[in-house]
């Protein structure tokens, strides 16, 4: 079990589902009116969380999808989720 799956990240799955996500990386929240920009990896991560807002599933999916050292990937993902917590949730 990696760090990501034990990471304390609670959120309302509906928040991810409602986000309007463009392929350009423009993210619009129709409830708060806030907008953000994310890179290609961010787009991929938000899409995964929209499909299945489960960190265990996200963890497995990341390890299948990306090459690199697992701990580094997990740290980057955790940083991204922290930013999401700060801005979106």
| Contacting residues toward other proteins, per CB under 8 A | 20, 28, 30-35
Closest CB to other proteins among 26 and 68? 26
CB of 33 to other proteins, least distance (A): 3
> Closest separation between CB of residue 10 and other proteins, Å?
15
Our CB check for other proteins shows the closer of 10 and 33 to be 33
Name residues whose C-beta falls within 8 Å of residue 65's C-beta, 6 or more positions apart in sequence.
Answer: 44
Shortest Å distance, C-beta 68 to other proteins: 35
CA distances (Å), 44 to each of 1, 17, 32, in order?
A: 22, 14, 22
Task: Pick the closer one to other proteins by CB: 4 or 81.
Answer: 81
């Amino acid at each position: 079990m990696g760090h990501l799956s034990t990471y304390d990240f609670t959120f309302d799955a509906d928040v991810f589902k409602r986000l309007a996500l463009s392929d350009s990386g423009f993210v619009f929240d129709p409830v708060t009116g806030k907008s953000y920009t994310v890179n290609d990896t961010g787009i991929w991560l938000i899409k995964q969380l929209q499909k299945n807002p489960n960190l265990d599933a996200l963890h497995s999916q990341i390890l299948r999808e990306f090459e690199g050292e697992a701990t580094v990937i997990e740290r980057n993902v955790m940083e991204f989720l922290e930013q999401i917590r700060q801005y979106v949730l």
